[in-house]
Amino acid sequence: MQPPHSHPGPDLETLLRSRPSPRLRLQGLLYLLTCLTTFAAGAAGWQPLLLGPDEIGPDLAAHWPRGLAYAAAVMAVLTAHEAGHFIAAWIHRIPATLPFFIPVPVLLTGTLGAVIGMEGARANRRQLFDIAVAGPLAGLAVAVPLLALGLFTGGGPDAEMPFAMPPLARWVQSLVRPDLPADAAVAPNALFMAGWVGLLVTGLNMMPMSQLDGGHVCRAVFGEAGNWVARGVLLASMAAVIVTGQFNWVVMLVLVTLMGVDHPPIADDGRPLGSLRTALGLAVLAIPVLTFMPEPMRLE
């Protein structure tokens, strides 16, 4: 993910050169905090609510190996995703920061992912496409094998498994666990949950709106017409929330709207993307269809 472009002022390259130490300390602190919150989420068994010290203490003591395994696995997914963005930006000489990880104390996932800062206005359509698509593909390259390994080692079916299985997860399960019924899943474990979180974060981030990765890809593939695609997706998402009653997505829709539905201008917008990039872009825009979960967790 990349945050919104800043208002006019000193460019990002100047800011990066002027005060590296405070920024690096903040990034390091956020990384360590995210390691801690993901460890706690794994040790507590991915609870949907915030637990107090008295409630989580026994879980940390009893299940710390599970917490360590989950933290290492999910941080690997997030790091691969952001490294894909950063390396692609470096190759194209577009100034970008190291990632800012986002820890959360709620013990369901322990994190909301990570973001990098980037001077996207300096990128042309091809550069923007390469930077945007590198992150999700790198993240999925780690998340899908982790999901498969978690399914393979997960034991028998769990009738009370509370986490939804998107189409991609069902397909992976049919390959590695053909013994499981089509509507069944294994009990949550550290590797499965790290892969599951990777699919969820990637699916959300690839929605073709605003400055999400999917929004960048949409702008690169369709040019300025991509803004109309983004507006249509936002309106369709609002309608789907109202019709299905899945009001858990209202906060995200509000955040996307506040960020700005349209993509900011980019450099050399008229440069053609090329047939190979266009084909890949259309393919990766299908990622939300394969990974999105309207109701990720059943709370009843």
State which amino acid sits at residue 259. Answer: M
> Given the structure tokens 């053609």, which residue do they identify?
272
SS (H, E, C) 239-255: HHHHHHCCHHHHHHHHH
Helices 213-222 & 125-152 angle (0-180, nearest 10): 130
Tens of pLDDT, residues 23-68: 888 999 999 999 999 999 999 888 766 555 566 667 677 788 999 9
Amino acid 180: pLDDT: 86
For residue range 184-198, list pLDDT tens digits in order.
Answer: 888 889 999 999 999
Residue 129: per-residue pLDDT: 95
- Structure tokens, 148: 């498969």
How do the domains of the chain map onto residue ranges? 12-291
Residue 84: CA atoms inside 13 Å, Cβ hemisphere, count? Answer: 25
Q: How far is CA 12 from CA 122, 212, 231, in A?
A: 11, 19, 28
Q: What mean pLDDT is predicted for residues 90-117? A: 89
In this predicted model, which residue has the larger pLDDT, 245 or 58? Answer: 245
For residue 251, pLDDT over 90 is answered with no
Which pTM does this prediction carry? 0.86
pLDDT at 211: 87
Q: Do residues 194 and 144 lie in contact, with contact meaning Cβ atoms separated by under 8 Å?
A: no
Q: What is the mean pLDDT of residues 82-105?
A: 92
Longest dimension (CA), the chain: 59
pLDDT score for 38: 95
